[in-house]
Amino acid sequence: MSTAVRAASTSPPTSKVPEPSRSRFRLTFPGALMAPGISILALLSIIPFLTLIVMSFSRVRLLGGLQLDWVGLDNWTRVLQDMDMWASWWRTAIYLVATLGLEMLLGVGIALLLHRVVRGRGLLLSLVLLPMFVAPVIVGLLGRYLTDSTFGLYSWALGKLGYEGDILGGSASALTAVILMDVWEWTPLIAMITLAGLTGVSPSVLEAASLDGAGYWQTLRHVVFPSITGILLVAFLIRAMDAVRYYDIITVTTNGGPADATKTVPIRLFETAFRFFDLGYAAAIGLMMLVVTILISKGFVAVLQRKV
Amino acid sequence: MSVSETQTTTRQKRSSQLMVWLLIAIAMLWTLVPLAWMLAGSFKSSADVTASDPQFVFDPTLDNYRNLFTGANDLTPYLWHSLVASSLAAVLSLVLGTLAGYGLSKSTMRRKDDLSFWVISTRMAPIAAVIVPLFLMFRVAGLIDTLPGLVLAYMTFNLPFAIWLMTAFFDDVPPSIEESALVAGCTRWQAFWHVVLPLTKAGLVTTGVLCLVFAWNDYAFATVFAGPSSQTLPIAASQLVTQTGIDWGQLTAIGTIVVLPMIFAGLAVRKWLVTGLTLGAVTGE
């Protein structure tokens, strides 16, 4: 490998034409640096991916030694015909639209507010960011503490406003609660990214707009938003991918209940795999989820290549 | 502009400024009350922590923290597992990710875009979909309930994150800097190690801290892969939730222990958080 390094270093790095003498399989310097990381990543990603595909066509038995029995398309026909599964997809869609919608709306709102503060903006931003660092499982448990029907602070406050009832016990209120817990944790991310975009809008453009007699909202609509759409899109896509990824909050608050009201796809997948140990079926669900995130990542990369 | 007109605009300005501060105050309450309530709860006696009327004024006690470390279920091993697994996963991901990120940034290979896309899609893969095949592989390899298994599990998301983010940081270093080092007689390794790497110090710290936060905060992987000899702090927190009831005093204390170090770590790299958490897509505060 060391000879390859030296051979590469003697050629000027700017030359784009590959030397004809270089063997096809000899590692270049960048290639040599990439090799360890990329090989381990391949081990941790391609093998599980292939395993997942094989599992989705098998019945996986764990007792008495691991055994995979080929069952063809059984898991796939099941996953497409399972009405409970479609209900979970629908619920996941609602959950995603609600969390992402609220986070974008509130995040942009908070960023606009902070952008109008001149002194102390840094401190305020730091305070706003705090929920982002809290482990999602703690967010869920803290949510339970706050909404407990006998001693929860938020239940108590809602009781003063006339709302009685067990928040995590009712279908609609439980779904709302887990959505709001996610909103609490991740709105700061959107606010932070948007604020970065707003700070990037050149002051001279804003000045020109105000000299032209444009009001605050007009300036926002016609000058500020058009110049930060790329950044907003990045924020949205990053959040979307993570919202599909994580399910810790729901696991420790309602675990899908009451009466399946919060049973999103990842919760159902987890339950299928590790409560019913139906790993083949879980693998089929997992591959469907993977397709969804790959589509979102495609969007993310496409936005990046347009150079935000 | 007449005098009265100026007065109305200043009055408008003042009232809109008041509105801004009012809304900021509401946002701050929404953000900080849960954290403050958790912190307060961790210093409350068991009667105060579950009092049906919230106790805003109370006699602070350290009992919850003391019980965590002296009771039947000592927290020390959990803390140790969390520290070892998350810092090992962060360091390994950072080292491998820095090398690979530099390679990827400088590479002129033909399928480079496909390689990058594969890296980012690995990072974004749904955790539940990753856990299922890993569970099978770890069972075969005997990695269930071991710290190395947990480290590997954390690297499934931290390694692609580190590669992708470090690539972005290296892309920002002007190629002319490295070229002049090469002209001055450095080998490519020397140019990388002595010239380029020191310029990406902020990137290294940010990537390392974020990897640490992601691994430390993990719950999903640990529920499946960790057993009695590898359980982490988030698992300890969830174990306090039992059929017979929840010790909220201890739970808020564990919550505080889990959250505080990550808040300090995260705020220490605040300047580069935007770059880090958008995976290099957006730069600057």
pLDDT, one tens digit per residue, over B140-154 is: 999 999 999 999 999
Range of the domain at B179: 72-277
One domain for residues B117 and B235:
yes
> Could you tell me the pLDDT band of residue A201, with boundaries at 50, 70 and 90?
confident
Share of chain B above pLDDT 90, in %: 70
Mean of the per-residue pLDDT values for chain B? 91
Share of chain A above pLDDT 90, in %: 59
Across the interface, of A156, A189, A293, the residue whose CB is closest to B277 is: A189
A78-305 carries CATH number 1.10.1740.10: no
Q: Does A273 touch chain B (CB under 8 A)?
A: yes
pLDDT in tens, B183-196: 999 999 999 999 99
- Whether B158 maps to a domain, the answer reads yes
Strand partners, A299: none
- Whether B284 maps to a domain, the answer reads no
One domain for residues B218 and B84:
yes
pLDDT in tens, B32-41: 999 999 999 9
Question: According to the model, what pLDDT value does residue B94 have?
Answer: 97
Contact (CB<8Å) B103/A62: no
Q: Which residues of B touch A274 (CB under 8 A)?
A: 135, 224
Contact (CB<8Å) B132/A28: no
- Cα–Cα distance measured from residue B13 to residue B20, given in angstroms and rounded to the nearest whole number: 10
Boundary-marking domain end, from B38, B66, B94: B66
One domain for residues B129 and B37:
no
| Contact residues, B window 177-196, toward A, CB-based 8 Å cutoff | 178-179, 182, 187-189, 192
Number of domain units in chain B: 2
Share of chain B above pLDDT 70, in %: 96
Are B87 and B212 in contact by the 8 Å Cβ rule? The answer is: yes
One domain for residues B225 and B99:
yes
> Has residue A19 got a pLDDT over 80?
no
Mean pLDDT of B148-167: 95
Mean pLDDT of A103-124: 93
> Could you tell me the pLDDT band of residue B8, with boundaries at 50, 70 and 90?
low
Strand B245-246 relative to strand A58-61, pairing: unpaired
- Whether B151 maps to a domain, the answer reads yes
CA-nearest residue to B24 within chain A is: A113
- Residue A60 phi/psi, 5° resolution? -100, 125
| Residue B127, number of CB atoms within 10 A of its CB | 24
- Whether B92 maps to a domain, the answer reads yes
Burial class of A54 by CB neighbour count within 10 A (0 to 12, 13 to 18, 19+): middle
Burial class of A50 by CB neighbour count within 10 A (0 to 12, 13 to 18, 19+): exposed
One domain for residues B43 and B77:
no
- Whether B285 maps to a domain, the answer reads no
One domain for residues B165 and B247:
yes
The model's pTM is 0.90
One domain for residues B19 and B78:
no
ipTM surpasses 0.85:
yes
> Has residue A3 got a pLDDT over 70?
no
Mean pLDDT of B122-151: 93
Q: If you count residue pairs, one on A and one on B, with CB atoms under 8 Å apart, how many are there?
A: 314
One domain for residues B86 and B45:
no
Contact (CB<8Å) B278/A238: yes
One domain for residues B127 and B37:
no
> Could you tell me the pLDDT band of residue A17, with boundaries at 50, 70 and 90?
very low
Question: According to the model, what pLDDT value does residue A4 have?
Answer: 35
> Could you tell me the pLDDT band of residue A24, with boundaries at 50, 70 and 90?
low
Q: Does A2 touch chain B (CB under 8 A)?
A: no
Mean pLDDT of A154-163: 91
More confident residue, A79 or A215: A79
> Could you tell me the pLDDT band of residue B3, with boundaries at 50, 70 and 90?
low
One domain for residues B141 and B204:
yes
Question: According to the model, what pLDDT value does residue A8 have?
Answer: 35
One domain for residues B33 and B150:
no
Across the interface, of B107, B121, B248, the residue whose CB is closest to A145 is: B248
Boundary-marking domain end, from B19, B36, B66: B66
More confident residue, A305 or A277: A277
CA distance B126 to chain A (A): 4
Mean pLDDT of A267-274: 93
- Whether B140 maps to a domain, the answer reads yes
- Whether B282 maps to a domain, the answer reads no
- Whether B37 maps to a domain, the answer reads yes
Question: According to the model, what pLDDT value does residue A307 have?
Answer: 54
> Has residue B197 got a pLDDT over 60?
yes
DSSP string for residues in chain A: -HHHHHHHHHS-TT--SPPTTS-TTSPPHHHHHHHHHHHHHHHHHHHHHHHHHHHHTEEEE-TTS-EEEE-TTHHHHHHHH-HHHHHHHHHHHHHHHHHHHHHHHHHHHHHHHHHT--TTHHHHHHHHHGGGGS-HHHHHHHHHHHH-TTT-HHHHHHHHTT--S-GGGSHHHHHHHHHHHHHHHHHHHHHHHHHHHHHHS-HHHHHHHHHTT--HHHHIIIIIHHHHHHHHHHHHHHHHHHHHH--HHHHHHTTT-STTTT--HHHHHHHHHHTS--HHHHHHHHHHHHHHHHHHHHHHHHHHHT--
Most B CBs within 10 A among A28, A34, A96, hence the mutation to make, goes to A34
Q: Which residues of B touch A126 (CB under 8 A)?
A: 267, 270
Q: Could you tell me the residue ranges of all domains in chain A? A: 2-56, 78-305
> Could you tell me the pLDDT band of residue A64, with boundaries at 50, 70 and 90?
confident
